Amino acid sequence: MFVDDPKEVRDADVSAIAALDEPTRRRLYDHVVRQPGSVSRDEAAAALGLARQTAAFHLDRLAEESLLDVVYERRSGRAGPGAGRPAKLYRRSAKQIAVTLPDRRYELAGRLLAQSVEESGATGEPVRDVLHRKAEELGTLLGEAGNGSPFDLLERYGFEPRPEEGAIVLGNCPFHALAREYTQTVCGMNLHLLRGVLQGLGASGYAACLSPGPGRCCVRLEPVT
């Protein structure tokens, strides 16, 4: 889990949101998602007073951006020879799209926390111990899926790494709002996540250490001498 390239996901989400900036396309999107069932091109065009070709163009663009799903159904209710071709219909996509600046990863934190609570309830192991283990396991997976460079991987996941006197300072915390309210829990999770990242990358020249400071992540990657 969580091994999709976050930069590619973010770029796709930005493109999808940008597609809604066109007024006619936004009206079509809003109309389709309000309907209890799937909507045909003819129905959408009639509802908004558009030419069918115009509605079709924008609906297909929304589908290309994964904002709408396309399904094919026979509206006649008949099947077999003579039933006609299925109609192309549109409905709300199940995909969730979100863009945050600076980059945030609250879903990642939420899943780790939820997994840890469930496993703790099932096994009796303290929640924090489970959370640290799960975070380190995930970090290792992310590191193993990387290309061997801490800077590249941390940049992709929104940490905004920069060199500083041989260390790597992380200019952004992807869990910022959570870390402000639940500092010990979230920073501990982040520390173990980044320890796992270094292990997965095989970056034995650095060690993840807690080093909170204003305007940056609570974890700093210190050179190992």
Which helix (H) or strand (E) segment holds residue 60: the answer is helix 52-64
pLDDT for the residue 31: 96
Report the predicted TM-score, pTM, of the whole model to 2 decimal places. Answer: 0.73
- Tell whether the model's pLDDT for residue 111 goes beyond 50: yes
| CA distances in angstroms from 163 to 167, 197, 215, listed in the order given | 6, 17, 15
pLDDT for the residue 83: 55
- Tell whether the model's pLDDT for residue 102 goes beyond 80: no
pLDDT for the residue 1: 45
Q: Which domains are assigned to the chain?
A: 6-92 (1.10.10.10), 106-223 (3.30.1380)
Query: Is pLDDT larger for residue 192 or for residue 9?
Result: 192
Cβ pair 109, 175 in contact under 8 A: yes
pLDDT tens per residue across span 117-129: 999 999 999 999 9
- Tell whether the model's pLDDT for residue 188 goes beyond 90: yes
Per-residue confidence band for 78, with pLDDT thresholds at 50, 70 and 90: low
Chain mean pLDDT for the chain: 90
